[in-house]
Each structure stands twice: as C-alpha cells, then as structure tokens.
Amino acid sequence: MNDCLFCKIVFGDIPCDKIFESELLIAFRDIAPVSPTHILIIPKKHISSLNEMEDEDRLLAGEMLFCAKKIAKSEKIELSGYRTVINTNNDGGQTVFHIHMHLIGGRQMDWPPG
C-alpha cells in the first residue's frame, strides 16, 4: 500500500523511534503519546484491520502479543501494569488503516476507556 503511513514506516520512507524489530513486526514510540509509555506494534505485512486478518496470520497475531510483553518488561511497566489496544474501524477509533497494537502504560488507566 503506497499511501499507507505505516507501510512507509516499515519501508523506511518515514523515520520512527524504533525500539523493536523482528521478521514480522516493528515497534516504535507513538508521536502523540497518551501516557509515559505509548508504543505502536505493527506487522510489516499490510493488513487493514483486525477484521482482515486471515488464518495464515495467527502466528503474526501471537507475535504481536509476545512483543507487547517483551516491551512492557524493557520499559519497566510489566509489574505496575499496562494496556494493549487494537482499534478496529471508524467506531472503534481506528485512524490508520494498517492493523496495529497500542501498548500504553506508565500511569493509572481508567475504565471504561472512552
């Protein structure tokens, strides 16, 4: 997807504050953080939303969760707690249509979130 913001980040056309990379994923700091720790975890493969994931993407989905766990530990928020969020489509709050997980922590989270 040549007009996708996150694909441009994956291909290196747009810089980011990258903190993790694997064969399937990259993770970087959000440019407009909502908490002291706000990391975006994105697949290198373009998938528009959670609704577009296929059976073949199961490994990718699992890797996203394990990546969040590793980053939470490296950011020293694994004990105090953190939130993972995948917004899906307009009513779900998705603004970039390339599936991504927010890892948010470093402060007390309220519920309900929105």
Catalytic residue among 38, 98, 100, 102: 100
Q: Is 100 a catalytic residue?
A: yes
Q: 113 in the Ramachandran plot: left (φ > 0), alpha (ψ -120 to 50) or beta? A: alpha
- In whole angstroms, give the CA distance from residue 91 to residue 41: 21
Which residues are within 8 A (CB) of 66 and not within 5 positions of it... i.e. 6 or more apart?
A: none
Enzyme catalytic residues: 100
